[in-house]
């Protein structure tokens, strides 16, 4: 640590509940490692206090905040500026206080792309974006996390996106939304209809199936029909190995859990607050602990 004599800074997590969050464990060691005199706090916020909490981020010494369930959507109208990708997705998970103006970002979506790249997929472009040109993807789910993932995949230049969800209507709505902004073909299917292209190179689970039970969002016989070079990414990170990942690994498919996305969304938020490169390996080690 630098032992800086500057004023104490603050940043925190706004949500309800927040006690379960990994964010302090991820962010505090990174702030400390760069000698930034800031504390990462948990700001549990009941709905009736949300407006006051958000506007309080303009206080001197406040870098900004992360936003989690249930406020990722409802904070948008409370901010001064919303980044175009976050506006498209309709969800903000990072707020930055810049000269008393609150700027909202979504780092979940680019965090997913960085995670996929870390696992060997796609290519890094000169502008820092990840390109998934040439890949096709099957996205399982159409909730909040899937929405960010769908925009991330579409923005990465993916060849084709299939959205598969329990309720077909939500998958259709998400597909229509993506097609308003992107040209890539997007198909929607219900999860009782597994007629999906087996040449798909990425399967992403953005449902909560596997979070609390041993179920898998994709039957093993369907997974078995995918090509051997298919990569399976489960956004769930706790448990670290879901049934889907176990099935994939048993079939010798490459697979990873959502820890890498958690890491990269946090690193991107850190960079927005501090304007400094995030100490990725320190954050990764903190998360692994
Ligand atoms: P939502 O509640 O918004 O969406 C849940 C999704 O799961 C919906 O598509 C829902 O389908 C589907 N689903 C739920 N239960 C079932 C079931 N029994 N059978 C089939 N489908 C089901 O949740 P989020 O989008 O916020 O989160 C989804 C997952 O992503 C969570 O597990 C979360 O932990 C993870 N996540 C990981 C992150 C990371 O950094 N790694 C970041 C954010 C989320 P339907 O529309 O039919 O209800």
Domain 110-257 falls in which CATH fold?
A: Rossmann fold (3.40.50)
Between CA 285 and CA 181 the distance in angstroms is: 38
Task: Count Cβ atoms within 10 A of the Cβ of residue 282 and give its class: 0-12 exposed, 13-18 middle, 19 or more buried.
Answer: middle
Which structure tokens are listed for 31? 């702030």
pLDDT tens column, 273-289: 999 999 999 999 999 88
Which CATH number is associated with domain 9-106+266-288?
Answer: 3.40.50.10860
Chain-centre distance for alpha carbon 164 = 18
The reply to whether 110-257 shares the fold of 9-106+266-288 is yes
Is 0.85 exceeded by the ipTM?
yes
Question: What pLDDT is attached to residue 38?
Answer: 97
Domain boundaries, the chain: 9-106+266-288, 110-257
Between the CA of 289 and the centroid of ligand 1 the distance, in Å, is 25
Q: Which of 57, 32, 15, 12 is nearest to 278 (CA)?
A: 32
- Cα angle for residues 114, 120, 121 (degrees, 5° grid): 70
Nearest alpha carbon to residue 92 among 116, 68, 113? 68
Pocket lining for ligand 1, CB < 6 angstroms: 108, 141-146, 165-167, 170, 191, 206-209, 211, 235-237, 258, 261-262, 265
- pLDDT for position 5: 57
Q: Which residues of the chain have pLDDT under 70?
A: 1-6, 197-198
User: What SS3 class is residue 51?
Assistant: helix
Rounded-to-integer distance, Cα 40 and Cα 63, Å: 10
């Amino acid at each position: 640590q630098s032992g800086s004599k500057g004023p104490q800074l603050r940043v925190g997590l706004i949500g309800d509940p927040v006690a379960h969050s990994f964010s302090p464990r991820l962010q505090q060691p990174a702030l400390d490692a760069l000698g930034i005199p800031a504390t990462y706090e948990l700001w549990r916020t009941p709905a009736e206090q949300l407006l006051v909490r958000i506007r309080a981020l303009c206080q001197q010494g406040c870098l900004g905040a992360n936003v989690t369930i249930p406020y990722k959507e409802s904070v948008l109208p409370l901010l001064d500026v919303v980044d175009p990708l976050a506006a498209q997705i309709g969800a903000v998970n990072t707020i930055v206080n810049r000269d008393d103006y609150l700027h909202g970002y979504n780092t979940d979506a680019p965090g997913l792309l960085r995670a996929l790249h870390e696992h060997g997929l796609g290519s890094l472009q000169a502008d820092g974006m990840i390109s998934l040109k040439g890949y096709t993807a099957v996205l399982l789910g159409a909730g909040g996390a899937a929405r960010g993932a769908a925009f991330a995949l579409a923005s990465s230049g993916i060849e084709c996106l299939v959205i598969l969800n329990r309720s077909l209507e939500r998958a259709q709505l998400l597909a229509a939304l993506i097609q308003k902004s992107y040209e890539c073909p997007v198909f929607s299917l219900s999860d009782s209809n597994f007629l999906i292209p087996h040449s798909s190179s990425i399967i992403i689970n953005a449902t909560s199936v596997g979070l609390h039970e041993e179920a898998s969002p994709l039957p093993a016989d369907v997974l078995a029909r995918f090509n051997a070079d298919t990569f399976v990414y489960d956004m769930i990170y706790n448990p670290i190995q879901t049934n889907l990942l176990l099935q994939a690994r048993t079939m010798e498919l490459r697979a990873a859990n959502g820890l890498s996305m958690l890491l990269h969304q946090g690193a991107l938020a850190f960079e927005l607050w501090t304007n400094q490169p995030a100490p990725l390996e320190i954050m990764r080690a903190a998360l692994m602990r």
